[in-house]
Structure 1
């Protein structure tokens, strides 16, 4: 049985942590004081097409010093919380020897985490789910499926990847191992940058991408710009793979939307710097232009810290 610490208990961390807990593994959560109090009061509750789950005695920590035996830290925070999370992850990993599986969007966080805890300790990974927390802090999962994809980035990660592999057969979600995890991470980054950017800029759900050719063209151009960046970073993508990502923009349910747009609706901070700002830094590194991404970045940047107030 693995000892897993989920760092962050938003919709993503609560959902996948809950699913692994449901399968009988020792799962605890590292959260801020306010979320800890809510989880102690309300418990962990998941409402999902993949099956509902409720657990009322959730083990939560608010300080790295409280944590003793952990094999794996699943880092499930938003990109704008990474600066705060890194010293906490570093302290926990140094104290316990745990590996780190980050489920953040984007790519820049990998190098920062590797610098903090060592290259041999940071796995590659990401999550696919459409979910949110309601006012009670319960998970409302609205997409029909969910998945975590992970893979080794270092030879010393073989055993922990084998252990994660074994979890897959017992959980009510998909925990899938990928040999070329960096390529899969980039494909997710490509799609999420386009999907989150266009839904948030339109302030409308996915149905309007499919019904408005002009809006679809903006999102598709982000796919092309992001794919260029991926290739410059050494990721081999065929034209067919790029077109497949573009076509996925029209495949969402009409009322589905991105987590960034959900956050925007709630007046919460946005991951615009982590996603679109990160893409612009990759573009600057390779001295190329990403004018559509830059435009979306300019439109969304004022909302970065929630609803803008002059």
Structure 2
């Protein structure tokens, strides 16, 4: 099996790098600037699960002209439109596309462009970032990726993908409920992102602030109400776990969107919070705190606009 990893950032670079180090046939589709840096210094991972350094196989959009068996799409959601054009030559009649983007809007975009039959559900769980030198910094021990057919079936192609992913130095899992996992990941990320960005602090700092815990709990309830109406509603057990994690005393937990906000970087506001807000509005679900969080993020986005 030949895999094209679209994006060699902190997510695609991590999982693709582990696969390449395990002997899988992996090529990274990257921008020329990233290609030059990777060619010069290699792909480096600094991780509590073991450091990694290798010379990856690279390709840029102008030289991509053959299909791959599987495309692992791991770009930021706001870069999706550009990525679609770049990866198009890699998509053949039998190509699987496994997106591990945040939110759910990308599934509709990909289905419209390439056909729903090429899509496989995917969820990546990792805390990672790029340092100023372009190295991938793995910030916490977990490094999980799950994948599955959207209808829950065990097809020959998903079995082949599972065999490719297993034993590559991270936790890989074939899921028969991947669509639910995707909705639940969105519920967690949007809650965490809205809480930490709106109130500008870690989970523990928000919990300790006057009224902070109540605000966090209301945001979680708003997110759950929208997803329960517009998608596959999260289970009570899942929501109890989320409430526990996002109101934990002294927790240093933040979101990648909060880190991007603080660093003055582009953020996935529309995909993580804005799309959820729009779905809630269409469904008639009241989401005042979610709306406030999105307005806060929109101001940041406007300041970055050229």
Aligned to 1:84: 82
Q: How does 1:133-152 map to 2 (within 5 A)?
A: 133-152=130-149
CA shift, 1:164, in A, is 2.6
Question: How far is 1:87 from its partner?
Answer: 2.4
Structure-2 separation of matches of 1:262 and 1:123: 29
Q: Do 2:145 and 2:171's aligned partners in 1 also have CA atoms closer than 8 Å? A: yes
2-structure distance, mates of 1:111, 1:7: 18
Cα distance in 1 between the residues matched to 2:187 and 2:225: 10
Kept in 1, the 8 Å contact 2:224–2:234? The answer is: yes
1:34-69, Cα deviation, whole Å (9 max, x unpaired): 1111111111011111111110x2111111652425
Task: Give the Cα–Cα distance (whole angstroms) in 2 for the partners of residues 188 and 213 of structure 1.
Answer: 28
Change (3 A) 1:83 1:283: same
**In the alignment, what sits opposite 1:116?**
113
How far, CA to CA, are the matches of 1:155 and 1:176 in structure 2?
Answer: 13
Deviations 1:221-269 (A, max 9, x none): 2221221122213524333332222212145983332111121222110
Partners of 2:62 and 2:186 lie apart in 1 by 30
Q: TM-score, normalised by structure 1?
A: 0.91
- Which of residues 59, 63, 70 is equivalent to 2:57? 59
The two structures have a TM-score, normalised by structure 2, of 0.92
Instruction: Please say if 1:243 is aligned against 2:240.
Output: yes
Q: Which one is further off, 159-168 or 262-271?
A: 159-168
**Residues 154, 176 of structure 2: 8 Å contact kept:** no
- Tell me if 1:181 matches 2:178: yes
Give the CA deviation at 1:11: 0.5
List aligned pairs for 1:199-214, cutoff 5 A: 199-212=196-209, 214=211
Cα distance 1:188–1:36, how it changes in 2: closer, same or farther (>3 A)?
same
Which residue matches 1:221? 218
Which protein is richer in strand relative to its size?
2
Please, what is the CA RMSD of the aligned residues?
2.3
Q: How many angstroms does 1:270 deviate by? A: 0.7
Segments of 5+ residues of structure 1 without an aligned counterpart are none
1:213 & 1:60 partners in 2: Cα distance? 51
Q: 1:161 to 1:305 in 2, by over 3 A?
A: farther
Name the CA distance, whole Å, in 1 between partners of 2:50 and 2:210.
37
- Number of aligned positions between the proteins: 306
Task: Say whether the 8 Å CA contact 2:8–2:30 is kept in structure 1.
Answer: yes
Q: Distance in 2 between matches of 1:123 and 1:140?
A: 27
**1:237 counterpart SS class:** coil
Q: Which stretch shows the higher mean deviation, 175-184 or 64-73?
A: 64-73
Once residues 265 and 302 of structure 2 are traced to their aligned partners in structure 1, the CA distance between those partners, rounded to angstroms, is 7
Corresponding residue number in structure 2 for 1:130 = 127
Structure 2 residue ranges without an equivalent (≥5): none
Matches within 5 A, 1:191-206: 191-206=188-203
